[in-house]
């Protein structure tokens, strides 16, 4: 099993490179829907530490005296409606916003996701798991389930997650809500209960804040659904441009790179397999170092006067930290783990290239 703690317990979250799982809980469905084979626990064992999760309501029993509703992951589009029934998790009456799937599929239940995450950190107390909730419905119900199911294993530390060390995060499940969800639950749930925020700085007008309860990252995935051919090359170009823009010009920002593709009718599995052939793994590593060069060069105007900038350790702080992938497995995660071993001496050796100010 990949153990990121062995990289150094006092390394900060923004100083290590880890695998992340894109549409982490969609383990079933058609070729254009399914994005993962393994459940959350087994993906974590393989090496994923950040899980991209979308949750909506689903009716799991129709007819009889009452409907039964539950919260499930999803991938796809469909009409939405408020449905009242018995909550499968609590056994009490609940009204949930339900998305009816067409051209998509429901995935794992939220309860399964949370129990998997809890089991992993119980069995591997030096490690942690980050659950990133975005594009969700029923935020209050999600927050309640996270707090109740995870119990003492939910991370309750306030402050900037970007600068927390692996030692501070060990043994915990970190729950992050996108801004719209966070706003809806803030009257009831705060960082003290374990509900933190996540903010994407690639959106226009977003800036990094030193004081923020949660994680601030830079990056965006997906390729054009209207361009079904050349998905791998599309993604390489998109990620290279994003990396060159940097994370608001601040080395403390967590970088997120998507090694995935988007499409409506094509097989996600087939495209994913193509991205992990030997030439494309080499492209990923080549893009990483090239993107590092571009990112550092683009930030020189803000950080050229930092003392000791020629240190490779400081230069490595500009590297993205999560590589989001489909169909997580140990082989892919090992490739990503190796990105931690780009030697500081390589960066120092190339400092003349990084310090260019004439272009």
Q: What is the pLDDT of residue 301?
A: 39
pLDDT confidence band for 261 (50 / 70 / 90): low
- Sign of the CA dihedral 352, 239, 245, 309? negative
**Residue 212: pLDDT above 80?**
yes
Q: Stretch 42-59: mean pLDDT, rounded? A: 97
- Average the pLDDT over each of 106-115, 256-265, 345-354 and give the range with the smallest value: 345-354
CATH of residue 134's domain is 3.20.20.190
Q: What is the pLDDT of residue 76?
A: 86
Does some domain include residue 315?
yes
**Residue 225: pLDDT above 60?**
no
Does some domain include residue 75?
no
Q: Are 154 and 189 in contact (CB under 8 A)?
A: no
**Residue 138: pLDDT above 90?**
yes
C-alpha–C-alpha distance, residues 296 and 347, integer Å: 11
Query: Reduced to 3 states, what is the DSSP secondary structure of residue 224?
Result: coil
Helix (H) or strand (E) holding 244: helix 231-245
Q: Stretch 334-338: mean pLDDT, rounded? A: 85
Does some domain include residue 241?
yes
**Residue 5: pLDDT above 70?**
yes
As to burial, measured by CB atoms within 10 angstroms (0-12 exposed, 13-18 middle, 19+ buried), residue 83 is: middle
Query: Reduced to 3 states, what is the DSSP secondary structure of residue 200?
Result: strand
pLDDT confidence band for 252 (50 / 70 / 90): confident
Task: Quote the number of domains for the chain.
Answer: 1
Does some domain include residue 154?
yes
- Average the pLDDT over each of 80-84, 281-285, 287-291, 296-300 and give the range with the smallest value: 296-300
11-23, pLDDT tens digit by residue? 999 989 999 999 9
pLDDT confidence band for 103 (50 / 70 / 90): confident
pLDDT confidence band for 294 (50 / 70 / 90): low
**Residue 251: pLDDT above 90?**
no
C-alpha–C-alpha distance, residues 17 and 337, integer Å: 6
Q: What is the mean pLDDT of the chain?
A: 80
Does some domain include residue 69?
no
Q: What is the residue range of 245's domain?
A: 11-54+107-354
The larger pLDDT score, comparing residue 269 to residue 179, is at 179
Does some domain include residue 66?
no
C-alpha–C-alpha distance, residues 78 and 85, integer Å: 20
Q: What is the pLDDT of residue 94?
A: 94
Strand 68-77 to 102-109 pairing: antiparallel
140-185, pLDDT tens digit by residue? 999 999 999 999 999 999 999 999 999 999 999 999 999 999 999 9
**Residue 357: pLDDT above 70?**
no
Largest Cα–Cα separation, the chain? 74
Does some domain include residue 93?
no
C-alpha–C-alpha distance, residues 291 and 266, integer Å: 28
**Residue 194: pLDDT above 90?**
yes
- pTM check: above 0.75: yes
Does some domain include residue 245?
yes
């Amino acid at each position: 099993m990949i153990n990121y703690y062995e990289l150094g317990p006092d390394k900060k979250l923004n100083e290590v490179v880890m695998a992340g799982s894109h549409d982490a809980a969609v383990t079933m469905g058609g070729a254009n829907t399914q994005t993962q084979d393994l459940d959350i626990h087994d993906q974590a064992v393989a090496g994923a530490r950040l899980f991209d999760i979308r949750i909506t309501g689903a009716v799991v029993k129709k007819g009889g005296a009452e409907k039964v509703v539950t919260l499930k992951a999803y991938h796809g589009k469909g009409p939405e409606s408020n449905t009242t029934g018995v909550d499968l998790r609590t056994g009490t009456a609940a009204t949930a916003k339900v998305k009816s799937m067409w051209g998509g599929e429901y995935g794992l239940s939220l309860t399964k996701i949370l129990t998997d995450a809890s089991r992993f950190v119980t069995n591997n107390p030096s490690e942690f798991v980050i659950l990133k909730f975005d594009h969700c419905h029923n935020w209050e119900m999600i927050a309640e389930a996270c707090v109740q199911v995870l119990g003492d294993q939910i991370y309750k530390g306030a402050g900037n997650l970007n600068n927390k060390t692996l030692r501070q995060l060990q043994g915990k499940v970190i729950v992050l809500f996108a801004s719209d969800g966070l706003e809806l639950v803030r009257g009831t749930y705060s960082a003290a209960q374990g509900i933190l925020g996540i903010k994407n700085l690639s959106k226009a007008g977003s800036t990094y804040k030193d004081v923020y309860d949660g994680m601030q990252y830079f990056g965006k995935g997906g390729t054009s659904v209207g361009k079904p051919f050349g998905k791998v090359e599309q993604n390489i170009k998109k990620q290279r441009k994003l990396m060159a823009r940097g994370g608001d010009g601040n080395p403390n920002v967590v970088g997120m790179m998507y090694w995935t593709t988007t499409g409506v009718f094509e097989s996600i599995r087939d495209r994913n397999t193509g991205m992990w052939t030997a030439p494309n793994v080499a492209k990923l590593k080549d893009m990483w170092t090239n993107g590092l060069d571009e990112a550092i060069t683009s930030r020189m105007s803000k950080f050229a006067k930092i003392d000791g900038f020629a240190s490779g350790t400081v230069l490595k702080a500009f590297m993205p930290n999560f590589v989001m992938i489909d169909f997580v497995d140990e082989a892919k995660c090992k490739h990503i783990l190796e990105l931690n071993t780009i030697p500081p001496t390589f960066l120092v050796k190339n400092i003349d290239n990084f310090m260019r100010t004439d272009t």
